């Protein structure tokens, strides 16, 4: 059954975004440790080139990160993370000033530096759980905040995660988290169920099948499954050969009500959005 798509509004520092159809967020990793594209875009020149390509292919948002959160990833210092993200953001804003940039970090100090450099929103894989200053920092800047559910830390989150009912537990997590974000003064929250973050393959596909249930929050829903192990392990390939599977899962997410797709491959995700949007128009 095709889920209803509920339009949402996001207000950044410079504009109001009406999400009348799903948006595509392009991933720009400045770290050398990312599971798929680590090391490709750690120079400003390469980052600008990739950003330009993603914008030309239809990206609505560019998500910049300097700390890998893949299973088993090592932690870098906040100073180092800031040093490889803020200059890239400044360069993008200089060359492509209309770009909407999201900073992918769980550290408040990195988020602040990125927002000062021109980022327009914060994407936090810990939803404020890993840095007590994050929520107040986001509230101070009054920008959209992506709160993601995870269980455990990247170093151990995939070590036999258990749930009685994964959808119910994630749903209840966001019930409590939204009270927390609102109390902190955050006015715009986007929820991300956190595919692959402390979840088995079965958990991930159960969440995907139940994604529509998160519409009860009446908030934008972000889905990030791009080339993750829930796809490539299932298909017995590797991340480099998981594009077709990623497009399939992204399409399912769109059919189930996703508002934003976070992806490595913008062109293919935009095509998924066009197909599902046409399907909705035909009903």
Catalytic residues: 228, 262
Provide the 3-class DSSP secondary structure of residue 263: strand
Q: Which two tokens stand for residue 191?
A: 């929820």
Question: Which residue reads 């992204």 in tokens?
Answer: 250
Distance CA 113, CA 205 (A): 36
- Classify residue 90 by its DSSP letter: H
Q: Which two tokens stand for residue 137?
A: 């920092």
DSSP 140-164: HHT--EEEE--SS-TTTTTSS---S
Residue 282 neighbours by CB under 8 Å, 6+ apart:
none
Crossing angle, helix 266-282 and helix 243-255, to 10 degrees?
A: 30
Q: If phi over 0 gives left and psi between -120 and 50 gives alpha, with beta otherwise, what is residue 185?
A: left
């Amino acid at each position: 059954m095709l889920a209803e798509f509920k339009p949402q509004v996001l207000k950044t520092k410079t504009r109001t975004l009406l999400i009348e159809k799903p948006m595509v967020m392009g991933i720009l990793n400045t770290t050398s440790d990312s599971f798929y594209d680590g090391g490709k875009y750690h120079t400003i020149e390469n980052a600008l080139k990739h950003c330009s390509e993603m914008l030309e292919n239809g990206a609505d948002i560019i998500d910049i990160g300097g700390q890998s959160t893949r299973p088993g990833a090592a932690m870098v210092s906040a100073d180092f993370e800031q040093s490889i993200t803020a200059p890239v953001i400044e360069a993008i804003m200089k060359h492509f000033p209309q770009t909407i940039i999201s900073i992918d970090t769980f550290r408040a100090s990195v988020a602040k530096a990125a927002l000062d450099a021109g980022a327009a929103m914060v994407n936090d894989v810990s939803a404020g759980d890993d840095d007590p200053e994050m929520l107040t920092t986001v509230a101070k800047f009054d920008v959209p905040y992506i709160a993601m559910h995870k269980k455990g830390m990247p170093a151990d989150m995939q070590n036999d995660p258990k749930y009685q009912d994964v959808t119910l537990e994630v749903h209840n997590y966001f019930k409590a988290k939204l009270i927390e974000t609102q109390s902190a003064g955050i006015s715009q929250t986007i929820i991300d169920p956190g595919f692959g973050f402390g979840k088995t393959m079965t958990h991930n596909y159960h969440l995907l099948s139940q994604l529509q249930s998160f519409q009860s929050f009446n908030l934008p829903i972000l889905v990030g499954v791009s080339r993750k192990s829930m796809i490539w392990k299932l298909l017995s390939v590797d991340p480099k050969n998981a594009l077709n599977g990623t497009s399939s899962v992204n399409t399912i997410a769109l059919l189930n009500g996703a508002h934003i797709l976070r992806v490595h491959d913008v062109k293919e995700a935009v095509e998924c959005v066009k197909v599902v949007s046409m399907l909705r128009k035909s009903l």
